[in-house]
Amino acid sequence: MTTLYFYPGACSLVPHIVSRELGLAVAVKAAPRPDDAGRAEYLDKVSPLGKVPALVLDDGQVITQNLAIVEYMAALGEAAGNAGVVYPKLGTLEHAQALRWLSFANSDLHPTFGPLFRPQRFSSDESAYPMIKGLASEQVLDLFAHVNGEYNERSWIANDQYSAADVYIYVTYRWAKMMGLDLAPYAGLAKMVAALQARPAVITALAEQGVPAI
């Protein structure tokens, strides 16, 4: 059976939620961490960089990268008559707008968390960590201010239609909350998060990963 590998609460929660929204027959499995049994096989057969998400198809082929997996799942959903559930129909302007925001979340917002989670990758001087984390926090909050302005105008970020872009922004909001960032100023964003967490597919995916709603 097609299997999606995840780390609890990581960016792999995006295709996980997407698969549940589309009702796809996808099993989910926690990827082995560096000290876990099965790690060498995971690196060898699934994800050489040890990252998630990774989608292993029935025939053993692997797709990595959130955007590629979401696009593939959306196409499967379309073929099954579920066009537009998490992504406007491929080839439309609305699709391009949703992809624009999904791409923003994946390639602008997501990497900003790197120095916050792992300052040791950016300096060997431990005394610099608070400064690195502080600067990264400011950058995250600047980007949240940007999307919050959009959510003040409408419920969902692309075409006012629920999409995988909202899901990805939600996943980064979870990280920011976990890291103790002050999210109080972002009421539009908080309203989207509350609406998204009430969706049955989101409730299912969180339960399957064993992570709480926020």
Ligand X SMILES: N[C@@H](CCC(=O)N[C@@H](CS)C(=O)NCC(=O)O)C(=O)O
- Do the Cβ atoms of 160 and 154 come closer than 8 Å? yes
- Measured between alpha carbons, how far is 205 from 19 in angstroms, rounded to an integer? 9
Report the residue number, 157 or 171, with the smaller CB distance to ligand X.
171
- Of residues 65-94, those binding ligand X (CB under 6 A): 65-66
172 binds ligand X (CB under 6 A): no
Closer to ligand X at the Cβ: 133 or 191?
A: 133
Is 163 among the residues that bind ligand X (CB under 6 A)? no
Length of the chain: 214
143: how many CB neighbours lie within 10 A of its CB?
19
**Position 53 contacts ligand X (CB under 6 A):** yes
Q: How many residues bind ligand X (CB under 6 A)?
A: 10
Q: Which of 51, 177, 191, 199 is in the footprint of ligand X by CB under 6 A?
A: 51
Give the residue among 63, 60, 92, 87 at the shortest CA–CA distance from 75: 87
Q: Does 9 bind ligand X (CB under 6 A)?
A: no
Phi, psi torsion values for 38, nearest 5 degrees:
90, 0
CA distance 122 to 98: 32
Residues 6 or more apart from 211 whose CB is under 8 A from it? 8, 9, 13
User: Can you tell me whether residue 180 is helix, strand or coil?
Assistant: coil
- Between 64 and 159, CB nearer to ligand X: 64
Kindly tell me which of 8 and 149 has the beta carbon lying closer to ligand X: 8
Is residue 103 near ligand X by the rule CB under 6 A?
no
> Shortest Cβ distance from residue 121 to ligand X (Å)?
9
76 close to 90: Cβ distance less than 8 angstroms:
no
19 binds ligand X (CB under 6 A): no
| Nearest distance in Å: CB 75, ligand X | 17
Residues that bind ligand X (CB under 6 A): 7, 10-11, 50-53, 65-66, 106
